[in-house]
Amino acid sequence: MNALAMTLDGLQDRILRGDGAIFPRVRGADAAHRLRIYADAYRLRLVEVLGNDFPATRDELGEGAFAAFAEGYLHAHPSTQPSVRHLGSAFADWVEAQIDAPRGLHELARFEWLQAAAFDAEDVQTLAIENVAALPTEAWPRLRLRLHPATQLLDTVRLAISDGAPTSTDIDTPMHWLFWRDVDGDVHWRSLDDDEADALRSLQSGVDFGDTCERLSTHHGDQGALRAASLLKRWLADGLLAADSPLSD
């Protein structure tokens, strides 16, 4: 390894782990101060990234409290990948484990993380209603519909929408949420009734459409198949399903 590479590795070790081995390579009596500037800038940039990924969570806590939470999280989960896109992947779970976190805050963080997941999920073609409508009636029960990668599901409590933004609340009734991305790249979300959440979870688990209809029958009796057809039409219109869904066994 040449001298430049060793110096760069030493600088990285100082920034990431506080290692002092690079000090002899830095000229000047204020070496520690100048190296701390780099380390602080790196840390503050990561705190900023988390704030951008979790803006509602940041607003709920306030700037100062959020920065303290973010630094605690970064200490427990230092960045390990070149892209900061994955930096906050464990943030909601980490917040949930903090005894000083406000009640329901982790659910708000999880909501925001799934928004981001819907936004930058793999871009695959959505299943068109014409593809399904062209199938013979007897093929419908055997449909194995696959959720689009941008379709995200969340089961949570104590979450509401205020002025178009999520916020933690004192709601105690469990709520289900759906996230998806439209053809223009905009992310949408809406709350789900229990039956639709159950139906989407069934598709996510890989069952065929006939099984999904049966599960809806537990909610609607003889009207289960009609409800399934209505939901399928909406899912297709919203682009929740992937075009590579195997349309028959």
In a domain, residue 145? The reply is: yes
If asked whether residues 173 and 80 sit together in one domain, one would say no
Which among 85, 102, 119 is the end of a domain? 102
In the three-class reduction of DSSP (H, G, I as helix; E, B as strand; rest coil), residue 137 is classed as helix
Note the pLDDT tens digit of each residue in 148-182: 999 999 987 667 666 666 777 656 677 899 999 99
In a domain, residue 193? The reply is: yes
Tokens of 178: 């759906």
In a domain, residue 246? The reply is: no
If asked whether residues 136 and 188 sit together in one domain, one would say yes
Spatial distance between the Cα atoms of 20 and 5, rounded to a whole number of angstroms = 16
pLDDT above 90 for 51: yes
- What pLDDT, on a 0 to 100 scale, did the predictor assign at position 7? 47
CB 139 within 8 Å of CB 200: no
Looking at the structure of the chain, the number of domains it has is 2
In a domain, residue 119? The reply is: no
Q: In terms of Cα–Cα distance, which of 114, 122, 104 is closest to 188? A: 114
If asked whether residues 133 and 86 sit together in one domain, one would say no
> DSSP letters of 218-239?
HHHGGGHHHHHHHHHHHHHHHT
CATH number at residue 223: 3.90.930
HSE (side-chain half, CA atoms, 13 Å) at 242: 19
Amino acid identity at 140: W
Query: Residue 219's domain spans which residues?
Result: 129-238
Of all residues in the chain, what percent are helix, strand and coil, respectively (each to 5)?
55, 10, 35
In a domain, residue 249? The reply is: no
pLDDT above 60 for 248: no
- Left (φ > 0), alpha (ψ -120 to 50) or beta: where does 70 sit? alpha
